[in-house]
């Protein structure tokens, strides 16, 4: 992904060597391109992961989730107690520092993604860990659980991959990141990653438990495991949706219930910000559902990725201050542990606030979340 590689140029990313190790530079470029795994397909759905490209099958107007009362939108004056996070690109420590300066407040959580190129990049992400070591940020890492070279959920559930995650845990502990938040196999309810749970939900559950038990067993480990679907119903292969809760590994193995939220929609009338928010908030497997799900399981909610969205296909909301206000109010009125703004323009959508492309959203975000 050329935009991702560009984000890794000068500081504080991996420096380009001038010349001599040309082959090494090319190899590292391939590694860096895997920091956020590419879409494995053309997912369907609304409001969730950045990879969505096609509309879901026609549905009736989104009802409230069954057997769950509507959520109280909360008082907009409520302070945000949730930790503030941001994603600024791979190992971009300076970008996170600059973002805090732009926002006028300190950032608590820095987010990053390990490369899933092969087992070595998953178990030994030394560049990422060393880059963030000593920065003072609590880390939230997207952790691939099946590499591009292949593997299966069933094999993982057998314990065959445990040594890879033991070595990863040891590296994180030695790198001063024993309290990292780990988003194992994030957005597993979509169809764009190799670990899509619809293919084998029982295997996903067993594999998740194997990883958690293995990493917790490492001396000094104090990780938080974030079970992180994306918003809505996304994997419609075979004509039926996949319900993320069918891959829930159990309260003993989960610290946070996370959900990714972007201002995009394929609902009829989606150009209206109110229509988009109604779907994001009240829609099937929307924010109301996941807040209630987390509460019912005694877990804090997290928002590991969220942002405004400008998409080439026109299904993003663009400069949408109402989305910023609604998300802020939801976070303030819910038991949210941390939230991460996706301050990065990816190949499938623009989200950055600090570069001036969404002036109304940026101004309101700084007022509501920053120092104003």
Domains of the chain: 37-368 (3.20.20.80)
| pLDDT reported for residue 336 | 97
Whether the per-residue pLDDT at 211 is higher than 90: the answer is: yes
Tokens describing residue 332 = 């303030």
In whole numbers, what is the pLDDT of the chain averaged over residues? 85
Residues above pLDDT 70, as percent of the chain: 78
| pLDDT reported for residue 38 | 44
The secondary structure of residue 51, as a DSSP letter, is T
Residues 6+ apart with CB under 8 A from 171: 123, 124, 125, 126, 129
- For tokens 């991959």, the residue is 161
- For tokens 């201050």, the residue is 321
Residues 6+ apart with CB under 8 A from 220: 173, 178
In the structure, what pLDDT confidence band is assigned to residue 262 with cuts at 50, 70 and 90? very high
| Cα gap 94→11, rounded to integer Å | 6
Tokens describing residue 180 = 């990292």
In the structure, what pLDDT confidence band is assigned to residue 26 with cuts at 50, 70 and 90? very low
In this prediction, residues 351-368 reach a mean pLDDT of: 97
| Cα gap 209→187, rounded to integer Å | 17
Lowest mean pLDDT among 28-32, 161-165, 223-227: 28-32
Whether the per-residue pLDDT at 76 is higher than 80: the answer is: no
Q: What is the DSSP string of 115-138?
A: --SSHHHHH--HHHHHHHTTS-PE
Whether the per-residue pLDDT at 231 is higher than 80: the answer is: yes
| pLDDT reported for residue 250 | 98
| Helices first, then strands: H and E counts in the chain | 12, 9
Q: What is the reported pTM?
A: 0.84
| pLDDT reported for residue 46 | 44
| pLDDT reported for residue 20 | 34
Q: Are 258 and 304 in contact (CB under 8 A)?
A: yes
Over the stretch 328-356, which tens digit does the pLDDT of each residue have?
999 999 999 999 999 999 988 999 999 99
């Amino acid at each position: 992904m050329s935009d991702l590689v560009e984000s890794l140029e000068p500081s504080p990313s991996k420096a380009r060597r001038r010349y001599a190790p040309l082959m090494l530079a090319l190899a590292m470029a391939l590694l860096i391109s895997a920091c956020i795994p590419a879409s494995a397909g053309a997912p369907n759905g609304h409001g969730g992961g950045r990879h969505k490209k096609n509309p879901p099958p026609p549905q009736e107007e989104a009802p409230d989730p069954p057997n769950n009362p509507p959520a109280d939108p909360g008082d907009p004056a409520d302070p945000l107690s949730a930790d503030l996070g941001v994603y600024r690109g791979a190992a971009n420590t300076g970008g996170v520092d600059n973002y805090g300066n732009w926002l006028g407040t300190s950032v608590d959580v820095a987010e990053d993604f390990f490369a899933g190129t092969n087992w070595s990049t998953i178990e030994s992400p030394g560049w990422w860990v060393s880059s963030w070591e000593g920065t003072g940020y609590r880390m939230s890492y997207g952790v691939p659980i099946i590499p591009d070279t292949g593997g299966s959920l069933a094999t993982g559930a057998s314990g065959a991959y445990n040594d890879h995650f033991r070595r990863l845990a040891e590296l994180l502990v030695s790198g001063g990141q024993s309290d990292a938040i780990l988003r194992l196999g994030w957005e597993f309810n979509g169809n764009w990653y190799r670990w899509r749970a619809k293919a084998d939900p029982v295997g996903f559950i067993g594999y998740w438990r194997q990883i958690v038990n293995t990493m917790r067993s490492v001396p000094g480990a104090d990780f938080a495991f974030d079970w992180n679907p994306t918003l809505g119903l996304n994997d419609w292969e075979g004509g039926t949706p996949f319900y993320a809760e069918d891959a829930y590994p159990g309260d003993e193995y989960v610290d946070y219930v996370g959900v990714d939220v972007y201002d995009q929609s394929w609902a009829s009338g989606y150009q209206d910000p109110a229509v988009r928010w109604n779907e994001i908030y009240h829609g099937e497997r929307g924010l109301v559902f996941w807040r209630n799900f987390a509460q019912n399981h005694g877990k804090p909610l997290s928002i590991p990725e969220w942002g405004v969205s400008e998409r080439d296909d026109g299904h993003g909301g663009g400069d949408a201050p109402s989305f910023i206000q609604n998300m802020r109010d939801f976070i303030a009125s819910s038991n949210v542990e941390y939230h991460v703004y996706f301050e990065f323009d990816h190949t499938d959508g623009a989200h950055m606030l600090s570069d001036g492309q969404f002036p109304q959203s940026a101004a309101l975000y700084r007022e509501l979340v920053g120092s104003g």
